[in-house]
Amino acid sequence: MSSKKKLYALIGHPVNKSLSPAIHNRMFNKYDLRAEYITIDVKNLNDFFESDHIENLDGFNITMPHKEDIIKYLDEITESANEIGCVNTVKIKDGSLMGFNTDGLGARKTLERFIDLDDKRILILGAGGAGKAITYELSKYTEVCVLNRTQKEAKALERFGTAGKKLNFTNLKEEIKRSDILINATSVGMDENVSPVPKEVLGSELIVFDIIYSPMKTKLIREAEEKGCFIMDGLWMLVHQGYKSFQIWTGKEPSIDIIRKTALEKVSS
């Protein structure tokens, strides 16, 4: 007798442009698993938890704006998700909901794919959900400074042993000079005509990683490329995170290259 088809989802608002269904459904197919990944547009978490969806799901990813509020609905969360205060992956087993955060790991795995983090000083722009997770993860390995528009949020990340300051032109210019790697973890750049970093402060030695993946070539990435910087796009982080969710749910370790290829095909379709 065949087992029940498993169901996974991305919940959040909006979710209609997500690449995750293409990635996970391709992997389920590749491993011959009876499973499907769907998107569920969720404006209100209470409504979601009272709906039939929750009965049918085996796991789900969470995107904006629910990564923090989801925690109170879960039975258990990992130590790292607790430290960060955000969950983006949930595994459901025997009715119990376990929360994970894979954002930081996704960013670190992206960096390590291309560079050695030893002795590198990292400047992170943004202390929102993604910024917190990346700061938590990278500060375990190397020196990190965070700049954020709202200074209080940057200062709060000093609990991870980092420096936290206000994001303004003076601090940006000074901190870029002292850093080897710049990571944009703000949402500035989702509009392709805007960058959080004026081109004039980018030097050719700087390694630039923009975690925004839509558009893939943000203004920051385009200008960094023009300046001769080594660049990494946000699709790499999405790919590494997708890998981790898939592993948490299925125990399988899919090929990063196939996930990246699937995501690229979806982006250009």
- Taking CB under 6 A as the criterion, the residue among 12, 59, 99, 129 binding ligand NAP is 129
67 is catalytic: yes
Instruction: Figure out which of the listed residues 44, 51, 96, 150 binds ligand NAP, where binding follows CB under 6 A.
Output: 150
The residue of the chain with the least Cβ separation from ligand NAP equals 128
Q: Is 186 in the site for ligand NAP (CB under 6 A)?
A: yes
Site string for ligand NAP, 192-231 (x = CB under 6 A): ----x--------------xxx------------------
Residue closer to ligand NAP by CB (options 99, 128) is 128
Q: Are 238 and 107 in contact (CB under 8 A)?
A: no
Considering only 12, 59, 104, 106, the residue that binds ligand NAP (CB under 6 A) is 106
158 near ligand NAP, judged by CB under 6 A: no
Between 155 and 227, CB nearer to ligand NAP: 155
Burial class (CB in 10 A: 0-12, 13-18, 19+), 43: exposed
How far apart are alpha carbons 242 and 114 in whole angstroms?
19
Distance of alpha carbon 90 from alpha carbon 76, whole angstroms? 10
- Residue 119 has phi, psi (to 5 degrees) of 65, 15
CA dist 155 and 140 (Å) reads 17
The residue (of 45 and 64) whose beta carbon lies closer to ligand NAP is 64
Least CB distance from residue 72 to ligand NAP, whole Å? 17
Distance CA 99, CA 92 (A): 9
Query: Which region among 26-34, 77-85, 139-147, 180-188 touches ligand NAP (by CB under 6 A)?
Result: 180-188
Taking residues 39 to 68 in sequence order and writing x for each that binds ligand NAP by CB under 6 A, - otherwise, the string is -------------------------x----
Decide whether 150 or 255 has the Cβ nearer to ligand NAP: 150
With b for 16 or more beta-carbon neighbours within 10 A and e for fewer, the 164-187 pattern comes to: bbbbeeebbeebbeebbbbbbbbe
Residue 109's identity, in one-letter code, is K
With CB under 6 A as the rule, give the number of residues binding ligand NAP: 27
Q: Which two tokens stand for residue 134?
A: 């990346």
The residue length of the chain stands at 269
Q: Which of 6, 67, 132, 219 is catalytic?
A: 67
Binds ligand NAP by CB under 6 A, chosen from 23, 27, 57, 188: 188
Angle formed by the axes of helices 103-114 and 234-250, nearest 10°:
120
Among 76, 173, 190, 265, binds ligand NAP (CB under 6 A): 190
Residues that bind ligand NAP (CB under 6 A): 64, 103, 106, 126-131, 148-150, 153, 167, 185-188, 190, 196, 211-213, 234, 237-238, 241
Which are the catalytic amino acids?
Answer: 67
